[in-house]
Chains A and B, each alone.
Chain A
Amino acid sequence: MSRRPARALAVILGVVLLSPIAVAAADHHELEMDVGVVSELGEMVELRVTLRDADSGTRIPHAMVVATRQATIAGVTGDVELARATTDELGVARLRWQQRVGVDHTVVVAYAAPGEAGFEFAEIEFAVIGSERQIHRSTAGVKIPGFGAWVLIGLIVVVWGIIQFTLLGPMLVARRFEAVETDDASGGSS
């Protein structure tokens, strides 16, 4: 079995085993979140949120729903917005984002019904698999036959070879004459 279907199976199992539906109740509203709480790194996550009135059970349309998670960048911690959507006539909002976090984490869902002041919050835990994957891969550029790092290496070797040749040439000649002179001097003295 290749790794990709295996990961997909793990996602499915995770979704089945780890409660596909989360319900959060706030003061005035009830939030139903339909999502696989196991997600795969780099894949798209779709969080389906249904918003109801807590008393009457009536679905609430035209409400703003925002998904955020906490992140720390260079020592500064804050909320990173993942996605936002507005509930439709059936009170359903679909939030989609790419899973970029390589570890299990909490996503905070904030919602505000029309006419209400301020947001209410609910949390959902995400388990992430495939954290060994590299999400961002640059695509290969234009490949020109015969052009690559070896051309650069060859050029460098030629340049260094010329430098060495120019340095060693006069040195060897000078040393040769120095040796001849030393021989002459010792021959003359003997």
Chain B
Amino acid sequence: MSLTPEIIALLLLDAVFLFFGGIAFVLSARIAWRWRSHETTELQYALHRQSYLVSVIINYIFMLKIPLFAFFIYTCDKLSAIITGAMCASGVVNSVDFGLYLTLFKIVNLYVFGFWLLLNDADMNEEKLPFTRLKFVLFMLFFIPLFAEIGLEIGFFTSLNVSKIVSCCGTLFSAASTSSISLLFSVDEKIWMMIFYGCFALSVAAYGSRSPLASVVSNLLLALFALIALILFFSPYVYELPTHHCPFCLLQKEYFYVGYLLYALLFAGTFYAAAGGVLDLVQKRYTKRFYNLSLFFNTLYVIGISLYPLSYYLRNGVWL
């Protein structure tokens, strides 16, 4: 374990999140249990106020989680200079067995809490507060991945061993790797690329069909396959190295931190359609704004990522 100031900062904020998350959890349980939307007793009045506190807390956590996610990756990137064998954040993340799960939990939590905030807004705009019980039951469920993430993060930093030699991204993201990622390499990368564009086409079609369900499904698929296609097909064009498949090196200075932009676009695009779509399914309506935003960000992402192979082809006349 090495307590660098960065790690202490992350752990300190984890403690703050845990504290406020705990308060929000207790309040949620109370509200979910005793909420009666048609009653106007003092208790309901108090519960309504407490429900507002929960939404303030979740807003606070969510607003910090976005920059903190970037900071986490950045810290791992910095640590890669200390840890032998690591060339970028991926080596550090994978130096602990559950590092990858920690990252996944972090991403899932962004989607989940973003969705909760959308639901909260929808609830507060209705006179009858129709989703109050639902949202607090949901929060109690969502608290589990949040708790898992914080636990994993604490575990991650305490078991991080500076002197242990780890693999660099070159071996982690290759066919030779023993992890599940290597399985993906057994399929031709052109196929992944086509699936990715297929998913994007599907999401555009879903946009045209005005069906929330189709949007949710197509965007979740898009998020998944965009990542796979990025690792297998697009990243070599970004690095201009046929064997370099790392999704983390994109975040480094050498590539102008382009990863932060690309991932933000992909997140925003898929989030609005997926979370907004679920919300529309719950409310049984169609909110055009979500899908417009989603289409906008998704298209930007697709254009951005497609520019790399295109410009490579134009300059060199060959595909990698």
Partners in one complex: no
